[in-house]
């Protein structure tokens, strides 16, 4: 049986694949959608989206300076147009001509242990950053919607307890990585952190589930503005969290 057939047969297996296909808009249809014509007028003119090897580099949904003063425009431009775009292009280059070209990333993540480190790093980097841009907004911050707040209270005891856990996950991640809020297979919310570009969908991490909120704690995400003050960056993040989008992702996960 060739590996492309194994991917299709394996799609129903592994934790959360029934959920993961809904999680981000990085489903098969999204992966195979036409190339974006370019960044919308709210972003820097001349920066374009891309589509290659069945994967899509989406336009940034807001201007580079839209999240200031919490995340500065120069950091956003470098982070999106250089770091994220590099992950996307490296993923596309690795995928072209293979039997997994265009396979949804959620399916690859469920079998991540079978792939080279380069696919793990670049596939994760593309997926993680796509989620990161979605869960921030110039109109973000404040309290979560009532439905999401109730789920947080149920699973963490209070929003304050959740925030404390999330901040601890972000602050204690040694070196580079991510802090996550995810939904497990039983529909419970949990906080975790992962190294490098790993995420909770991958079969190489301890706690698996569908991520609905992620915070990038690589230094390139904050160093220009915050230098070594990761804690200040983590605190500022709460001012731009797009809670309505987090709720949409929770609903899409089917719980």
**69, burial (CB in 10 Å: exposed 0-12, middle 13-18, buried 19+):** exposed
Average pLDDT, the chain: 84
Tell me the C-alpha distance between 182 and 15, whole Å.
Answer: 13
Say yes or no to pLDDT of 10 above 60: no
Tell me the C-alpha distance between 89 and 67, whole Å.
Answer: 26
Whether residues 31 and 93 fall in one domain? yes
Asked whether residue 141 is assigned to any structural domain, the reply reads no
Whether residues 84 and 167 fall in one domain? no
Asked whether residue 199 is assigned to any structural domain, the reply reads yes
pLDDT band per the 50, 70, 90 thresholds, residue 114: very high
Q: Is residue 230 within 8 Å of 217, Cβ to Cβ?
A: yes
pLDDT for residue 174: 80
Helix or strand holding residue 173 (H, E) = none
CATH number of the structural domain spanning residue 13: 1.10.287.990
Whether residues 51 and 164 fall in one domain? no
Q: Tell me the pLDDT tens digit for each residue of 19-38.
A: 334 344 443 333 333 332 22
Say yes or no to pLDDT of 133 above 90: yes
pLDDT for residue 83: 96
Whether residues 125 and 199 fall in one domain? no
pLDDT for residue 255: 65
Domain count, the chain: 2
Asked whether residue 202 is assigned to any structural domain, the reply reads yes
Q: Is residue 52 within 8 Å of 98, Cβ to Cβ?
A: no
pLDDT for residue 218: 86
Tell me the C-alpha distance between 144 and 142, whole Å.
Answer: 7
Pick from 109, 150, 123: which is nearest to 14 by CA?
A: 109
Tell me the C-alpha distance between 170 and 195, whole Å.
Answer: 11
Asked whether residue 242 is assigned to any structural domain, the reply reads yes
Tell me the C-alpha distance between 220 and 134, whole Å.
Answer: 18
Q: How far is CA 95 from CA 14, 89, 128, in A?
A: 22, 10, 18
pLDDT for residue 48: 67
Asked whether residue 63 is assigned to any structural domain, the reply reads no
Q: Tell me the pLDDT tens digit for each residue of 143-187.
A: 999 999 999 999 999 999 999 999 999 999 988 999 999 999 999
Whether residues 164 and 93 fall in one domain? no
Range of the domain at 15: 3-58+70-134
CATH number of the structural domain spanning residue 187: 3.55.40.20
Token pair of 144 as six digits:
């979560």
Whether residues 104 and 25 fall in one domain? yes
Range 219-234 burial, b when 16+ CB lie within 10 A, else e: eebbebbbeeebeebb
Q: What is the DSSP letter of 16?
A: T
Whether residues 195 and 226 fall in one domain? yes
Helices vs. strands in the chain: H and E counts, helices first: 12, 5
Token pair of 110 as six digits:
């469920």
Chosen domain end from 114, 134, 154 = 134
CA angle 6, 9, 11 (to 5 degrees): 105
């Amino acid at each position: 049986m060739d590996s492309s057939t194994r991917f299709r047969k394996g799609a129903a297996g592994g934790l959360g694949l029934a959920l993961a296909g809904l999680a981000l808009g990085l489903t098969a249809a999204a992966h195979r959608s036409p190339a974006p014509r370019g960044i919308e007028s709210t972003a820097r003119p001349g920066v374009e989206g891309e589509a290659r090897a069945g994967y899509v580099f989406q336009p940034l949904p807001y201007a580079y300076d839209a999240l200031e003063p919490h995340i500065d425009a120069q950091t956003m431009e470098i982070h999106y147009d250089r770091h994220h775009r590099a992950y996307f292009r490296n993923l596309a280059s690795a995928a072209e001509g293979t039997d997994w070209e265009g396979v949804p990333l959620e399916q690859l993540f469920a079998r991540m242990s079978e792939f080279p480190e380069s696919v793990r790093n670049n596939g994760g980097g593309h997926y993680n950053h796509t989620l990161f841009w979605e869960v921030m907004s110039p109109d973000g911050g404040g309290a979560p919607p009532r439905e999401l707040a109730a789920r947080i209270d149920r699973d963490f005891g209070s929003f304050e307890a959740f925030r404390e856990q999330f901040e601890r996950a972000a602050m204690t991640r040694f070196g580079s990585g991510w802090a996550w809020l995810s939904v497990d297979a039983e529909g419970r919310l949990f906080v975790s952190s992962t190294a490098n570009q790993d995420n909770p969908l991958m079969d190489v991490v301890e706690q698996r589930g569908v991520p609905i909120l992620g915070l990038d704690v690589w230094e390139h995400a904050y160093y220009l503005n915050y230098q070594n003050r990761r804690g200040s960056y983590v605190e500022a993040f709460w001012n731009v969290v797009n809670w309505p989008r987090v709720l949409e992702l929770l609903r899409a996960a089917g719980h």
